[in-house]
Structure 1
Amino acid sequence: MEFFEDEEEYSPEGENISHFEIAVDKGQSAIRLDKFLTDKLPHASRNKVQKGIEDGVVRVNGNRVKTNYKIKPSDIITYWVADSHRDTEVEPEDIPLDIVYEDDELLVVNKPAGMVVHPAHGNWTGTLVNALVYYFDQLPEMSGNTGRPGLVHRIDKDTSGLLVIAKSESAMTQLAAQFFDHSIDRSYIALVWGEPKEEKGTIDVPVGRSAKNRKVMDVFPDRDQGKHAVTHYSVIQQLRYVSLIECKLETGRTHQIRAHMKYLGHPLFNDAVYGGDKIRKGTQFSKYKSFVHNCFKILPRQALHAKSLGFVHPKTKENLFFEKEMPEDMMQVIDKWRKYVKEID
């Protein structure tokens, strides 16, 4: 049994991660946490348990503790387990990867818009995982890692940008713990409808699955449902009817930026799921409508790009930071808006 993370961005459909809880009996004597878990968990060595505690993937009552912590009656012990078996349904595919950085522990890739991160219903091939399985199969020195692309987080199919991929169990554990602790530095660039009233702001509203459509996320301002979600945004440039903004994630819920910006009244440009694929701001003149629809054709997706990614290297403990500029479709549309605003001013 390998200890692992349950990073909050990871899909519940993910095959690599399982989450478990142990409720300590009321009559349990006070013994060390590492000894308790070694006795409780099959195939778990004392060293592996201690490493899991030190890495923060074993927690007591939601808190990180030391290996010599003595458990108390009614403590809740949470831990995450990695399933090291490859899904035989995943077919290796020779798909080019835009690798921004790579070493023995990890690689950072720039995912193009339109590529699904991992196989699922309706998308069994052509995914980033298919490409990673093929890529790792070409690395015989990665003994025991064949078919294990090491997904730690993901971004939506039609969102472009940076993802970090673990190449070892240790790297995956360490990176996932950073996601769990919200210490990963992530920023996104988005084009949204309208001009936010405040140049900077924070959206602190829970996000959860819609009861009407499970593929759509709703916000729950009354905090009676959903999961804690926080997005910090700042306006880069106002363009009359749209705005270019930067979003920094404190949490990483599914569709978080897209749902939060819709809640704020500024859905992402051409986001069909959250209402951004219609003209939300502007005039009724046919010339303007033609201009907007032309932009939709150039950018046939939500205008969202995962621009930067920063984290602590799992082995060297060095602070790493990567940036990738927006792809051509977003840049072209933003440039068109800038020119359009100049013409009408």
Structure 2
Amino acid sequence: MSGVEQRTIARAEADWRFDRWCKVHFPDLGFGQMQKLLRTGQFRLDGKRIDAAARLTPGQVVRVPPLPLAPDVPLLPVKPEQRVSERDTAMLRSLVIHEDDALIAIAKPAGLAVQGGTGTTRHVDGLMQAFADRHGDKPKLVHRLDRDTSGVLVLAKTAAAARSLTFAFQQHKVRKLYWAVVIGRPKRDEGVIDLALEKSGGAGHEKMTASESEEARYARTGFRVVDANAKVAAWLGLLPLTGRTHQLRAHCALSGFPILGDGKYGGKAAHPTGAPSGLALHARELDLPHPDGGRLRLTAEPDKPIRAAFDWMGLGRELPRFARLDDWPEDRR
């Protein structure tokens, strides 16, 4: 390709990562070449520098520099929306805990991925056609949960709401309370885990590790012991003060109390004999600024893995102190 091009992001490409968009449109462009063009500012989004993980919005314009592509290579078409079955539509609708003109909130079950990936064909993003309006526009993801983490997931219904909510999450204007059952018990009943994290491992085996390198990202998690079963296990309230990949799972494991069922970070210690299966991590509450003004509190009831963990610990049904976001003071970052 010779000369600079300006390409507009299509509606079907909403919320794609830039590296995915680039791979679809320029299949002959190597990942290393793309990264170099990003580092040198030759790729730009609406005139600004971007990175490979940038999320795209329909109508945005990508500046595409001259690329060393092979001749006569056809561009891959954007895949059409897959039809969502009546069963999946009913399932997704049954998860709704709040809906208004700006957003939808669902209680995502454990085991349902938020987005597709290698070997993942059924996910929230692909099922959101069930929420499409009469124009065929579907909601947009504004944050994410791991596949095996259950709890509150927010979807924006309009582009304006998506911008507002994405900004709120990025700028830490959203207060989040997670419930976790961990193996062992923190030495203190409350505190802040302050460990910078860096991604390590090859493709498909990525893992966040504690690091002091320049590439590591600042990460802080507030915690409180809500209840405990001697020194065997504890129910923690976790308040993420930053939003890094796998932050809660990595912070708990690195601090000596891995989350029950988290083999990736806790290994065998996260699967004691007789314990239930499944990751015991649940996004219980979100308190966020509503795109139309004011604040909105969202709560998701526990899913099967966290309920099974509570039963295994022999806990009652009453909510102790610090099981609610209202029991926590405002964040001290």
- Return the match for 2:200 from 191, 198, 210: 210
- Return the match for 1:127 from 109, 123, 130: 123
Q: Structure 2, unaligned stretches of length 5 or more?
A: 1-7, 10-15, 22-37, 61-76, 316-333
Indicate how the Cα distance of structure 1 residues 322 and 276 shifts in structure 2: closer, same or farther if over 3 A, else same: farther
Indicate how the Cα distance of structure 1 residues 13 and 275 shifts in structure 2: closer, same or farther if over 3 A, else same: farther
Residue 149 of structure 2 corresponds to residue 173 of structure 1: no
Q: Give CA deviations for 1:209-242 in whole Å, capped at 9, x if unaligned.
A: 1146753323334254321211111110111201
| Partners of 1:84 and 1:210 in 2: CA distance | 35
8 Å CA contact retained: 2:225, 2:237: yes
Q: How far off is 1:252 after superposition? A: 1.3
- Return the match for 1:338 from 298, 314, 320: 314
| Partners of 1:12 and 1:272 in 2: CA distance | 31
Q: How far off is 1:92 after superposition? A: 3.4
The number of equivalent residue pairs is 259
Q: What is the Cα-based RMSD across aligned positions, in Å?
A: 3.3
Find the residue that maps to 2:179 and give its secondary structure.
strand
Residue 237 of structure 2 corresponds to residue 246 of structure 1: yes
Corresponding residue of 2:181: 191
8 Å CA contact retained: 2:183, 2:259: yes
| Partners of 2:270 and 2:97 in 1: CA distance | 36
Indicate how the Cα distance of structure 1 residues 100 and 335 shifts in structure 2: closer, same or farther if over 3 A, else same: same
Corresponding residue of 2:247: 256
Q: How far off is 1:135 after superposition? A: 2.4
Find the residue that maps to 2:261 and give its secondary structure.
coil
Q: How far off is 1:208 after superposition? A: 2.1
Q: Give CA deviations for 1:239-267 in whole Å, capped at 9, x if unaligned.
A: 12010001011111111100000110111
Q: How far off is 1:168 after superposition? A: 0.5
State the one-letter code of the partner of 2:282: H
- Return the match for 1:117 from 97, 114, 119: 114
State the one-letter code of the partner of 2:283: A
Corresponding residue of 1:108: 105
| Partners of 1:135 and 1:103 in 2: CA distance | 12
1:29-48 aligned within 5 A: 41=46
Indicate how the Cα distance of structure 1 residues 190 and 134 shifts in structure 2: closer, same or farther if over 3 A, else same: same
- Return the match for 2:302 from 320, 323, 326: 326
Corresponding residue of 1:52: none
TM-score, normalised to structure 1, is 0.66
TM-score, normalised to structure 2, is 0.68
8 Å CA contact retained: 1:267, 1:274: yes
Indicate how the Cα distance of structure 1 residues 303 and 278 shifts in structure 2: closer, same or farther if over 3 A, else same: same
Find the residue that maps to 2:141 and give its secondary structure.
coil
8 Å CA contact retained: 1:202, 1:232: yes
Residue 261 of structure 2 corresponds to residue 270 of structure 1: yes
Q: How far off is 1:275 after superposition? A: 2.1
Q: How far off is 1:332 after superposition? A: 2.8
Indicate how the Cα distance of structure 1 residues 337 and 205 shifts in structure 2: closer, same or farther if over 3 A, else same: same
Identity of aligned residues (%): 27
Larger Rg: 1
- Return the match for 2:285 from 308, 316, 326: 308
Q: Structure 1, unaligned stretches of length 5 or more?
A: 3-9, 24-39, 43-57, 60-78, 281-291, 340-345
| Partners of 2:80 and 2:196 in 1: CA distance | 35
Find the residue that maps to 2:222 and give its secondary structure.
strand
8 Å CA contact retained: 1:193, 1:276: no
8 Å CA contact retained: 2:186, 2:257: yes
State the one-letter code of the partner of 1:127: H
| Partners of 1:306 and 1:233 in 2: CA distance | 14
Find the residue that maps to 1:275 and give its secondary structure.
helix
1:83-102 aligned within 5 A: 83=58, 88=79, 90-94=81-85, 95=88, 96-97=91-92, 98-102=95-99
Structure 1 stretches of at least 4 aligned residues deviating more than 6 Å after TM superposition? 10-15, 20-23
Q: Give CA deviations for 1:110-165 in whole Å, capped at 9, x if unaligned.
A: 100010101222112x21112212321xx20xx3x62x430011101111000110
Indicate how the Cα distance of structure 1 residues 158 and 90 shifts in structure 2: closer, same or farther if over 3 A, else same: farther
Corresponding residue of 1:201: 191
| Partners of 1:257 and 1:13 in 2: CA distance | 26
Find the residue that maps to 1:82 and give its secondary structure.
coil
8 Å CA contact retained: 2:279, 2:305: no
Q: How far off is 1:84 after superposition? A: 5.4
State the one-letter code of the partner of 1:327: D
| Partners of 2:109 and 2:19 in 1: CA distance | 22
State the one-letter code of the partner of 2:278: R
Indicate how the Cα distance of structure 1 residues 157 and 198 shifts in structure 2: closer, same or farther if over 3 A, else same: same
Find the residue that maps to 1:173 and give its secondary structure.
helix
